[in-house]
C-alpha cells in the first residue's frame, strides 16, 4: 500500500473514532447548510411592505397605488398624505420603502417630480428591490395613462407608438436571494470548516512545536501529509457537490454554463484551502495561531470577494486582499458558469487556485520536512 493511501486510511479511521472531528466534518456542515437552506427557503423577495404618500388623490394616483399593490413583489401597508408618517413607519421597520405621489402627478401642473421613492439603505437588498418595482410599476402606469391624458403643445399624443424596453436577467431571472446567496454562503462555510479541520489534523503531529519527530518516523512525509489532508479535501468536495445538487435538483435552479466546471472549481478550492492550512501550521507551529489565521483568511473571504459588495471603488488594500483569497477566484469561476460564460474565460481563476498548492502548499511541505527541532 502506498504512503498516500495508508495515510488516507489512517486519517479516516482517526476521524471516525474521534467524536469532535467526526462532528466537524459531518453533522456540523449538515446543520449549517440546513439552517441556511431553511432561512432562505422561498428565495424570491415578495410582498415587501411599502407606504404610499398620496398628495394628489386623483384617479391616476389611485391607479398607481392599485397597480403597486397588485404586484406580487410589493404590498401597500399604508396610505397617508404625510411624508413624516411614512418615514416613521420605515424607521419602525414596518415598511422598507415609501413613495411620494405629488399633486398633479402626470400633468404639466405637477409641482414636484412625478414620483419620489425613499428606501431603507440599511437593509440594502430589500430596499433596492422595493424601489426598483415601485419605479417600474409607476412608470408603466404613467405610460399607459399618457395617450389619454398627456399632450405636447396642445396636440394629443394618442396614436403615437411609445418605445418599449425589455430587460432580461442573466443567471438569476427570478431575482432569487436563495440562489444568489446560497451559491455564495455555502462554499464560504465549507471553506472555513475545511481550513479549521486541516489545521486541527496537522496540529496533532506537533511535538514541542516541531514536526521533527513525525518527519523522522515517517518514510515519505510529503506523500503521507498529502494523504492525510486528502480526507479533509474529499469531505469539502462531497459537501460542496451535495449543496450544488440541492440548489439545482432539489430547489430547481439552473446553471447556464458547465456544472462540471463548477465541480472542478470546488476541487481546486478545497485543495487550496488545505494548502493554506498547511502553510499556517508549518509557519506558526501553533494550532491556536493557525486557527486565527484561518478565520482571518476564510472567515472574511466572502466579504472581500466582491460578490456582494463591489470593490472596484474601494481602497487598494481591499482590492489587493481580495485577490489573495482563494474564495474570490472560485466565486468568479462559479458565477461565470451560473450565467453561461465560456470555459476559456475561467482559465484565469483556475490557474489562480492552482497557485495555492503550488506555492503555499510546497512552502509548507518544505518547512515541515526541514523541521528537526523546536522553534
pLDDT, position 158:
47
Please give the angle made by the CA atoms of 158, 161 and 162, to the nearest 5 degrees. Answer: 100
pLDDT, position 108:
56
pLDDT, position 375:
44
Q: Which CATH number fits domain 48-156: 3.40.50, 3.40.190, 3.90.120, 1.10.287?
A: 3.40.190
Residues of the chain short of pLDDT 50, as ranges, are: 150-160, 162, 374-375
| Residue owning grid cell 422595493 | 130
Half-sphere exposure of 328 (CA within 13 A, CB side): 21
Sheet holding 74-80, edge to edge: 74-80, 48-54, 97-101, 116-119
Q: CB within 8 A of 132, min separation 6: which ones?
A: none
CA atoms of 265 and 332, how far apart (whole Å): 10
pLDDT, position 177:
77
pLDDT, position 171:
64
pLDDT, position 344:
86
**pTM for this one?**
0.79
Amino acid at each position: 500500500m502506498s504512503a498516500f493511501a495508508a495515510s488516507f486510511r489512517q486519517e479516516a479511521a482517526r476521524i471516525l473514532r474521534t467524536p469532535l472531528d467526526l462532528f466537524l466534518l459531518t453533522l456540523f456542515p449538515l446543520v449549517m447548510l440546513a439552517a441556511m437552506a431553511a432561512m432562505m427557503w422561498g428565495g424570491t423577495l415578495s410582498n415587501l411592505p411599502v407606504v404610499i404618500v398620496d398628495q394628489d388623490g386623483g384617479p391616476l394616483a389611485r391607479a398607481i397605488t392599485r397597480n403597486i399593490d397588485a404586484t406580487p413583489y410589493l404590498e401597500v401597508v399604508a396610505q397617508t398624505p404625510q411624508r413624516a408618517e411614512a418615514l416613521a413607519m420605515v424607521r419602525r421597520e414596518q415598511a422598507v420603502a415609501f413613495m411620494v405621489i405629488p399633486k398633479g402627478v402626470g400633468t404639466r401642473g405637477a409641482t414636484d417630480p412625478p414620483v419620489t421613492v425613499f428606501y431603507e439603505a440599511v437593509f440594502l437588498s430589500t430596499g433596492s428591490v422595493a424601489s426598483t418595482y415601485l419605479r417600474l410599476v409607476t412608470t408603466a402606469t404613467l405610460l399607459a395613462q399618457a395617450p389619454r391624458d398627456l399632450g405636447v403643445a396642445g396636440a394629443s399624443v394618442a396614436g403615437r407608438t411609445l418605445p418599449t424596453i425589455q430587460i432580461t436577467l442573466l443567471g438569476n431571472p427570478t431575482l432569487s436571494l436563495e440562489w444568489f446567496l446560497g451559491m455564495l454562503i455555502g462554499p464560504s462555510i465549507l471553506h472555513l470548516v475545511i481550513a479549521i479541520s486541516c489545521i486541527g489534523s496537522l496540529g496533532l503531529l506537533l511535538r514541542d512545536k516541531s514536526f521533527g519527530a513525525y518527519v523522522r518516523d515517517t518514510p515519505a512525509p510529503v506523500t503521507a501529509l498529502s494523504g492525510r489532508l486528502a480526507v479533509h479535501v474529499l469531505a469539502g468536495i462531497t459537501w460542496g457537490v451535495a449543496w450544488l445538487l440541492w440548489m439545482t435538483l432539489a430547489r430547481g435552479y439552473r446553471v447556464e454554463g458547465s456544472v462540471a466546471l463548477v465541480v472542478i472549481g470546488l476541487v481546486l478550492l478545497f485543495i487550496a484551502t488545505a494548502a493554506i492550512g498547511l502553510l499556517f501550521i508549518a509557519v506558526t507551529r501553533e494550532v491556536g495561531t493557525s486557527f486565527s489565521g484561518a478565520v482571518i483568511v476564510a472567515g472574511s473571504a466572502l466579504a472581500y470577494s466582491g460578490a456582494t459588495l463591489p470593490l472596484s471603488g474601494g481602497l487598494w488594500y481591499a482590492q489587493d486582499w481580495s485577490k489573495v483569497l482563494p474564495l474570490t477566484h472560485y466565486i468568479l469561476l462559479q458565477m461565470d458558469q451560473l450565467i453561461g460564460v465560456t470555459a476559456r474565460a475561467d482559465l484565469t481563476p483556475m490557474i489562480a487556485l492552482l497557485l495555492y498548492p503550488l506555492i503555499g502548499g510546497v512552502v509548507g511541505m518544505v518547512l515541515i520536512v526541514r523541521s528537526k527541532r523546536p522553534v
